[in-house]
Amino acid sequence: ADWSVEDLRDVLEVAIQGAPPEAVRVVEGRYLRKRVREQCAYAERYGEPFALVVLKLAVEPAEGDYTRCLDALVERLRRSDMMAIYKRRLALLLPRVHPTGVPALLARVREAVDTTVGRSVIESAPVALFPDPQYPETQSMLDWLEDRLRPDDPS
């Protein structure tokens, strides 16, 4: 089989850390993009929707707010969920989330973070759902994610 550099890195990480890939919840950006591609293929094949959420944190969080925010999210992630960190933004990949459940899910995320941090630190939380007519294929989801992770994105 042909192995990409990312595949080899993933195998080595598992070998070194001794944890199965599905137990890794906070991942780096390239791995998240790979998982988004896989999730799109899975959703197209089996019809199970998923959501991408990008949490934009306050411009200048107080000392320790960022760590407390991460802790609150990691504690509440499902085994199948993933999170990637990019500057003051947190990207969440949430498999098997039905579109009607997203508002309640976001409310619980905001409440958990606000309670743990002690104040509101989430400025915005844009969401993309797949499948959705607005994002009909894998590349449109990846483009949406890249746009929301960009520091100059207003959302």
8-29: average pLDDT: 62
| Residue pLDDT, tens place only, 76-85 | 788 788 888 8
Distance between CA atoms of residues 145 and 127, nearest Å? 9
Tokens of 80: 């199948």
CB 103 within 8 A of CB 2: no
Query: In sequence order, which residues have a C-beta less than 8 Å from that of residue 33 and are 6 or more positions away?
Result: 142, 145
Query: In sequence order, which residues have a C-beta less than 8 Å from that of residue 45 and are 6 or more positions away?
Result: none
For residue 74, pLDDT over 90 is answered with no
90-110: average pLDDT: 89
